[in-house]
A and B are shown apart, each in its own frame.
Chain A
């Protein structure tokens, strides 16, 4: 029996092309996995794989609903708990799930941890790519403008004037393509050009990692995207860089959520079974630990012995080379005496054979006999 693995249904909006939704699902999943390594997390979204998004990291969600009573019963048997992302509280089928007996837990607003989801080396790689394709200015500093600024005349004027005054280059990004009004990009480009601000445009073909790389590098983000603002703040950019207290608070909230998921899982699986499973797992773990410790001790002993032998060999040679030479001299004398003895015995034997047969065995063999021996068939394998 193994420890019960939580079966978590995660409800969010990962099927939408909005950076905040994409980030939220990725962060909640990552933070739960970090705390509950064995958890089996299945992501749900309104349309799921029926409408996958380029922001979903290639892992489209399961669609949620419409569900029949049979579907809900099956859902209840397949999952221990449903975790609802902060942005999906009002849209997820909470009532139906609750009626089906599913325990509902709410995830904290995860965006405070947005700076954790892309590894530093990946950010560097994406930034190099963005420079290569000229979608991110090489000038420093750079400011990220949301393409939707082009739809708000007043905000656009303020942002462009500030960029000109601060002498920054601008990278125009599109974090929420689903919300971009037609023509916004053109208006924004014209305003920047008229103000003499250097800029690049990267709308339409940037993934989550690209956006995070740009936002992490820019001096600030200007625009309405909650997700883009969260990333910039997470990397300490702009007027409102995120403070450590908020990160710590969010971390604690995820600790709480993980505890609740664990508790809900244990409650569903039965406490006795769970305790038995834990005990069994602990026993197995202790046995593995004992075995590992013994193997380690054996290895250390062997290492010690090998070192000892090596040390003794080295120092023994240096210190005792004279005794070794003496021993060898004794052995050489012994072998010389043995050779002399054998020679004497051979001479005596030859004398006896000459006396008896008239043949000396030390004479060369008959040439014909020797030739016959050379041409004799050789056994295989010889």
Chain B
């Protein structure tokens, strides 16, 4: 049984979207409960998991709010559902295959509370083998993305929503995740660019560490197709922002 604390005035609302991957969900929520001070609440939105994840959550986790969708509404829209129930000042979007490490929470909240110009803050994400997966990312022409691998405190174009803490006011002010991206991919890029366009900053906080298994829920071919389609949408939408940047393959970077 995983137990989350009952918090009247949470600083952070952790929003997790599930679609299968019950073992990872259990691991992620278990570490979250063990490694986070009682200043948060949890909302899980289950996107019609085929493996009984929702039933397992209902019976095995106490103190979280569970939203059950009868169809897979996608990552961004489901996160919007969770965010609409949030009471925390900040929203933490956490993938079900992301496992927080000890001490992950405070640096992220401190960063947002200390600097009102910061709209979103991300931890350093690690692969399962311990290598750095992403410490924020930069964008190139055509909305090609390039993860940064040195864990430094810096402004970035965007950071993966595998674990991303966003000021709720800023999230609501830009209208949340855009449903134009459908089921998955590039919705986090779009959100970060929208936050930046609204005058906020997206930063990486190197004192916070999270392991992210990454890309386990979609078959590769389908994932690539969705990614390419959404890259096109994002590229058109944000052409004035990244259109003049060098190409990732041109050697200009």
- A residues with a Cβ closer than 8 A to B are 49-54, 56-60, 121-123, 125-126, 128-129, 131-133, 204-210
Known: A50-B8, A58-B169. 6 other contacts (CB 8 A): A54-B84, A56-B87, A132-B77, A133-B179, A205-B84, A207-B84
24 A-B pairs in the complex with CB atoms less than 8 angstroms apart = A49-B9, A52-B87, A54-B86, A57-B172, A58-B91, A58-B169, A122-B174, A123-B175, A125-B174, A125-B175, A128-B179, A129-B77, A129-B177, A131-B179, A132-B74, A133-B73, A133-B80, A205-B81, A205-B84, A206-B84, A207-B83, A207-B172, A209-B172, A209-B175
- CB <8 Å contact, A58 and B88: yes
Give every chain A residue within 8 A of B27 (Cβ-Cβ): none
- CB <8 Å contact, B77 and A133: yes
A128 to nearest B CB, angstroms?
5
Evaluate whether A60 and B89 lie within 8 angstroms (CB atoms) in the complex, with A49-B9, A122-B173, A207-B83 already known. Answer: yes
- CB <8 Å contact, B86 and A125: no
Query: Complex Cα distance A205/B17, Å?
Result: 14
- CB <8 Å contact, B77 and A126: no
- Complex partner residue of B169 from A53, A57, A121, A206, CB under 8 angstroms: A57
Quick one: CB contact mask for B59-94 with A, threshold 8 Å, 1 for yes?
A: 000000001000001100100110111111111000
The count of residues in chain B whose C-beta lies closer than 8 Å to any C-beta of chain A is 32
- B residues with a Cβ closer than 8 A to A are 8-10, 67, 73-74, 77, 80-81, 83-91, 167-169, 171-180, 182
Query: Complex Cα distance A58/B81, Å?
Result: 15
B19 to nearest A CB, angstroms?
15
- Complex partner residue of B178 from A50, A57, A129, CB under 8 angstroms: A129
> Which chain B residue lies CB-closest to A53?
B87
B156 to nearest A CB, angstroms?
22
- Contacts across chains A and B counted by CB atoms under 8 Å: 82
- Complex partner residue of B80 from A53, A129, A131, CB under 8 angstroms: A129
- CB <8 Å contact, A128 and B180: yes
Max chain A CB contacts within 10 Å: which of B87, B89, B174, B177?
B87
Give every chain A residue within 8 A of B9 (Cβ-Cβ): 49-52, 60
Query: Complex Cα distance A123/B176, Å?
Result: 11
B93 to nearest A CB, angstroms?
14
- CB <8 Å contact, B89 and A59: yes
Give every chain A residue within 8 A of B180 (Cβ-Cβ): 128
Give every chain A residue within 8 A of B172 (Cβ-Cβ): 57-58, 207-209
Query: Complex Cα distance A126/B173, Å?
Result: 11
> Which chain A residue lies CB-closest to B67?
A205
Give every chain B residue within 8 A of A51 (Cβ-Cβ): 8-9
- CB <8 Å contact, B84 and A126: no
Give every chain B residue within 8 A of A132 (Cβ-Cβ): 73-74, 77, 179, 182
> Which chain A residue lies CB-closest to B7?
A52
Query: Complex Cα distance A209/B182, Å?
Result: 20
Query: Complex Cα distance A91/B1, Å?
Result: 43
- CB <8 Å contact, B176 and A54: no
A333 to nearest B CB, angstroms?
49
Evaluate whether A58 and B90 lie within 8 angstroms (CB atoms) in the complex, with A52-B9, A128-B180 already known. Answer: yes
Give every chain A residue within 8 A of B169 (Cβ-Cβ): 57-59
Give every chain A residue within 8 A of B77 (Cβ-Cβ): 129, 132-133
Query: Complex Cα distance A123/B9, Å?
Result: 28
Give every chain A residue within 8 A of B73 (Cβ-Cβ): 132-133
- CB <8 Å contact, A129 and B89: no
A163 to nearest B CB, angstroms?
25
> Which chain B residue lies CB-closest to A207?
B84
A81 to nearest B CB, angstroms?
24
- CB <8 Å contact, A205 and B85: yes
Query: Complex Cα distance A122/B178, Å?
Result: 10
- CB <8 Å contact, A126 and B86: no
Give every chain A residue within 8 A of B178 (Cβ-Cβ): 125, 128-129
Give every chain A residue within 8 A of B87 (Cβ-Cβ): 52-54, 56, 60
- Complex partner residue of B84 from A56, A121, A125, A210, CB under 8 angstroms: A210
A228 to nearest B CB, angstroms?
16
Query: Complex Cα distance A211/B85, Å?
Result: 13
